[in-house]
Structures are given as C-alpha cells and as structure tokens.
A and B are shown apart, each in its own frame.
Chain A
Amino acid sequence: MKSKKNYYALAFICEDQPGIVMKVSRILLDNNFNIEDSSSTLLEGIFSMILIVSLEETMSSLQIKKAFAPLVESLKLSLSVRKLNSVKHEKADSSNQRYIISVYGSDKPGIVYNITKVLAYKNINIVDLQTKVIGDETNPVYMMILEILLPVSIDSNWEKDLYDISKQLNININIKHVDSYEM
C-alpha cells in the first residue's frame, strides 16, 4: 500500500447521457479525490464506470455516498462504494506470459462459463474480459475477448483443453501470445 492514502472502489451505473463523467469527476475534485485507475464504457445503453480513487484524508463510505446523493437523485444513477485495504499496481512484468483469447460462435448458453472454467482450473488469471452479441437477430453471434496472464508454472495442456471445450461447444477460439517489448 502506497503511503497512508485511503483507497476506495466506486462503481456508477446510469442510463447513458452526455455529462455523466463531468458531473462525477466534479464531485471527486471538490472532495480532493484522485482517480488512480478507472474503466468506463457503454453497455447496451447503460454507462458503467468503475473508479479506484484515493484520498489523503479519511471519508467513510456513507460520507462518500452523501457527497454523491444529489447526483444519484438527478441522474438516477446507482452507486456502490467500497473502502479498500490495499491496492496493487499492475506492473509490466515479463515473468508472466500474456495471451489474448478470442472466442466466437452462435449464441448459446454456457460459453463464458465453460471457457472460464478451464482457465480457473488451470489457475490462469483473467485481467480483461469483454463480451458482445454481434450478428443479426436471426443469427446472433456471441463474441468474447479475454486477456489472460499465465501463472509462472503452468501445464502445457491448457491450450489443448481450451480447443477441446470449444470443439464440444461448436465455437471458434483463437489464442494469441502477446509479446511486448520496450522500444
């Protein structure tokens, strides 16, 4: 944990409209928060923001919720606040191999579960995951893109297990090693 700053995870979910980020960040600024890490995107018309914020002073979760209360009311947004005991910065570490897996096929139940089950059993960590239904209404196609980090010791069968489960589900899978070099 860095210095004696306090860290919080804030999650905002709101019907999409212009100005959400501005209004949220204004309240953060007025209360001396720093945005340390964040991810926000539009999911089926719902704007979703997750922020890791830090603060020199201490505020309780309730106090943070109170600071956002007028905004929660006016934007009809839902907010969850969680105080974090510590934060770990993700370092560009070359000891863990990084892969991008893309999975796609006719939409059917269980694609996410069956693929991530293999990963979980192999102790493979997902660091990013995005899914989307693409295609048209008559032929919906499910698309999932994962970024994973392999544990330092991993049995070499993990790729074969993913290919096997994809065959059983009749979906396509593509596993790409991500090489990253400093230039």
Chain B
Amino acid sequence: MAVKDIVKYPDPRLKVTSDSVYQIDKYILQTIKDLSDTLDAYPHTVGIAAPQIGITLRIIIIDASKKRNCRDNHGKLVLINPEIYSYDGLLQFREGCLSIPDFTANINRAKEVSVCYYDTAFKRQFVKASDFEAVLLQHEIDHLNGVLFLDRVISKRTDLFRRKKYI
C-alpha cells in the first residue's frame, strides 16, 4: 500500500504532455498500484492521472462507481495510453480536482465518449462511456495532455445570460 502525495498546481508536471507507455514492466505495475492506492485513499475522489502523483506517463484510473447514484459505469478501470476517438453531445458538470484544492467550476464536456486504451496486460480495449463517467474520462485524459479544468472554465453569468447590446 503506497498512498502518494498529490502534486498540486503550480507544479509544472501538471502542465506537460505525458509520455506513452510502451511495455508493462515492474515500474509501470508499481505506478498503477500507487495510483490505485492513492485513489482509494480519497473517498470523494473518482479518478486519478499519473501526473497527479508526479509520474508523467499516460496512465489513468477511474472509478465512477464511487459516485452516489451513478447508474451506468464500468467500475474501477485502469487505462494505459487512453485516446478518445469519438465525442457526442454536450453536458455541463461541476468539476473539482485533487491538484487544485478548494475550487470547483462548471465545465462543458461531451456527454458520450469512446475511448481506446491498453489494459494492464497491454491488451487493446475499447470503452464507451456516458454522462458522469464520460466527464471523468475527459478530465483524466486532459491531465495527460497538461490540460487542467481551469483551462476549460466557463463563466457562470455569461453562460446563463446572453448579453444585451447597449448602444
């Protein structure tokens, strides 16, 4: 059991593009174990990306089943080199991030995503996720590209009200 410290912004590791994983070795398996233990240590946290524990490799773990009343989900999933290959629909969700404590914001995301990835046996897999789990996948995959939810914040007021023109 190794719960790692969470890397917090402005740590530069959160803003880089992470490297692909080319083979499963002891180091990768240990990283996955550490990520999993760290994710499990936070009851209100539903996903984690390797850069959040300081390892800039393309590995994420999601667990949408930790959310109350989340009907459609694939449970706890380890995704290596995940790639979103299709997006559909639009959904707004209030997101928070372990790496940016005490701040949440409304973010627009695709309502459905299809993702290809490698599993822990380095076998190619596909997953189609919707709603909360789709938001979660997009948030974590953003981490692998150095994108934080702060990059996608939408202002509340301009989101709600189209501005009148005053002449």
Contact = CB atoms under 8 A, between A and B. Distances in A.
Interface residues of B, number: 29
A175 interface: no
The B interface, classified by DSSP as helix, strand, loop or mixed, is: mixed
3 residue pairs, one from A and one from B, having the closest CB atoms: A180-B94, A183-B139, A183-B47
5 contacts: A45-B166, A128-B156, A182-B42, A183-B47, A183-B139
Given A92-B101, A92-B102, A92-B103, A181 B96 contact: yes
Contacts, number: 60
A89 interface: yes
B45 A182 contact: yes
Given A16-B166, A42-B163, A45-B166, A180 B104 contact: yes
Interface of B: 42, 44-48, 66-68, 94-98, 101-104, 136, 139-140, 149, 156-157, 160-161, 163-164, 166
Nearest to A181: B46
A87 interface: no
What band does the interface of chain A fall in when counting residues whose beta carbon is under 8 Å from B? Answer: 20 to 34
B12 to A, nearest CB: 20
A112 interface: no
Contacts of B67: 179, 181
Contacts of A120: none
Contact of B44 (A41, A143, A145, A181): A181
Given A41-B157, A44-B166, A183-B46, 20 more contacts: A16-B166, A90-B102, A92-B101, A94-B44, A132-B161, A143-B161, A145-B160, A179-B94, A180-B94, A180-B95, A180-B104, A181-B67, A181-B136, A182-B96, A182-B97, A183-B48, A183-B97, A183-B136, A183-B139, A183-B140
